[in-house]
Every structure is written in C-alpha cells, then in structure tokens.
Amino acid sequence: MSSSAKPAADRSKYILLSPGGAKALSVVAIGGMYAWFLMKLFLVGDDPGLQLAVGIAALVGMVGSIVMFLCTYSFVANAPDRYLDEREIQDRNAAYMRAYTYAVTLLLIGYIASDVVGKVYSGFEVTSHVVTNFLNLAFFTCLIMPATILAWRDRRDDSQD
C-alpha cells in the first residue's frame, strides 16, 4: 500500500440521500425557512390557525435544514481535503464560493431592506425580533447552502443509486 494513499473517511455517520432526495429536501428546508420568515414578518394576528402555520413552517424548515446538514453532501462540503478526491475538492470549493455569494447577497438585501422599509413605510418598524428572525433565516439557509449546491450540481441519475 502506498504511503500517499488517502485515508478512508467514515461516511456512514451521515444520512445517505439520493440526489433527488437531497434536492427535494433542500427545497423544503429553504422554502420552509423563507415561508416562516415572511409569515412572521407580514402576517400579524392572534389567529391560532395562522400561528400554527407559522410554527409548522419554522419546524419544517429547521428540521429539514438539520437533516440536510447531516447528509453525505454535507460531508463533502465540510470534510478535510485528505478525505476527498480532487474532483470532490473542486466541487466543494465551487459550492463554497456560490454559498458565500448567497450569504453576502442575503445579508446585503436584509441591510438595504431594513433601511428602505423604515423610510418608505413609516408605520413599519424593524424591531429586534425581526432582526433575530432574519438572522435565523440566514443561519439555517447558509448552514446548508454548500451541501444544497453540491446536491443540485450532482448529475448522477437517481435510478443508479
């Protein structure tokens, strides 16, 4: 055995998702987080049905994000170079650049929106609760963005798995 051989990483600790399953989960997780944030932001009221819908969207988004973070695509996104082959390293690096662009864009839009909304809509105030909700949205979506990008770039056919 060659001394330059890469050590085998234990990927069995991660949830094995097919490319299609990971794509669907990422849409549900990110969609749930955005739905939660927008409902919390715009829908104000004491209606129990509305509060239940907001809670379900948050739960689906957060649990979906956690499961996505624990899948094998996240392993590739977060593994040290010694556990990945050259193609996986290139894919991971490209995914992180896209995720970085997403994160900066999201934070920039949030910053501009908080300034513009306060000036345009005088009745709307950006409170600490809104900022906290926005940061939760940013955290959970940015957490899974590299794995999401890797899943969407995976060209394997689900029937091969």
Assigned domain for 153 exists: yes
Cα dist. 77→35, 70, 117 in Å? 26, 11, 36
Range of the domain at 89: 15-160
**Within-domain flag for 31:** yes
Question: Do the domain assignments include residue 64?
Answer: yes
- Output the six-digit token pair for 103: 């994160």
Cα(9)–Cα(72) distance, integer angstroms: 11
In the numeric block, which tokens belong to residue 43? Answer: 């829908």
* Domain total of the chain: 1
Residue 8 is assigned to a structural domain of this protein: no
CA 40 to chain centre: 19
- Asked, for residue 100, whether it belongs to a domain, the answer is yes
Residue 134 lies inside a defined structural domain of this protein: yes
CA distance 130 to 36: 12
Q: Which of 69, 81, 41 is nearest to 142 (CA)?
A: 69
- Is there a domain that residue 136 lies in? yes
pLDDT in tens, the chain (161 residues): 444 556 666 667 788 899 999 999 999 999 999 999 999 887 777 888 888 999 999 999 999 999 999 998 998 899 889 988 999 999 999 999 999 999 999 999 998 888 887 777 766 778 888 889 999 999 999 999 999 999 999 987 655 54
The whole-angstrom separation of Cα 30 and Cα 143 is: 10
126 found inside a domain: yes
